[in-house]
């Protein structure tokens, strides 16, 4: 714990909706977590899309997100498209806080069922999703491209929200 944290307490964490103005930082964060990152124009379009719910986690006084999650809504279902935390901020519980708030926001939007895909070797993500009650409902062999040119298995997970 830093001297500032000892004197003034832990930095404040906020979770807020993201908009197109966050596209640059969101694209950078995505590129740090996935071998095929999204570019800034693509992210800006997604953040402006009314069928996509995007939440960011902000640490301390920064106006740039330390992580984000995006879900596409369709009727009473949604799919988490991506979730990532800045590598320098991982291990602090930000992903847990972000997913917890995002699930609550999805429930407020009348989402009853939530799906996602995750690489089968992504142990931190799998632990997070299991902690939130997601269950495996399928697989997609060779779904995720890897930096070495190989492809990884994606697990399809589901959680009922309603």
Positions annotated as catalytic residues are 117, 129
Residue 15 makes CB contacts below 8 A (sequence gap 6+) with: 55, 56, 57, 58, 97, 98, 101, 102
Q: Is 56 exposed, middle or buried (0-12, 13-18, 19+ CB in 10 A)?
A: buried
The answer to whether the CB of 65 falls within 8 A of the CB of 23 is: no
Angle, vertex CA 58, rays to CA 49 and CA 70, nearest 5: 30
Task: Identify the residue whose tokens are 């997970």.
Answer: 157
What are the backbone angles phi and psi of residue 14, rounded to the nearest 5°? -125, 150
């Amino acid at each position: 714990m830093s001297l500032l944290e000892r004197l003034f307490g832990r930095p404040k964490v906020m979770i807020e909706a993201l908009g197109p103005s966050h596209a640059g930082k969101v694209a950078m964060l995505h590129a740090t977590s996935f071998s095929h990152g999204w570019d800034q124009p693509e992210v800006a379009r997604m953040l402006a899309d009314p069928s996509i719910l995007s939440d960011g986690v902000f640490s301390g006084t920064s106006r740039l997100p330390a992580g984000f999650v995006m879900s596409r809504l369709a009727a009473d279902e949604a799919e988490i498209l991506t979730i990532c935390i800045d590598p320098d901020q991982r291990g602090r519980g930000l992903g847990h806080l972000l997913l917890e708030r995002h699930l609550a926001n999805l429930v407020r939007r009348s989402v009853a069922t939530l799906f996602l895909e995750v690489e089968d070797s992504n142990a931190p993500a799998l632990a997070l999703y299991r902690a939130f009650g997601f269950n495996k409902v399928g697989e997609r062999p060779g779904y995720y491209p890897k930096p070495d040119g190989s492809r990884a298995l994606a697990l399809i997970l589901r959680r009922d929200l309603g």
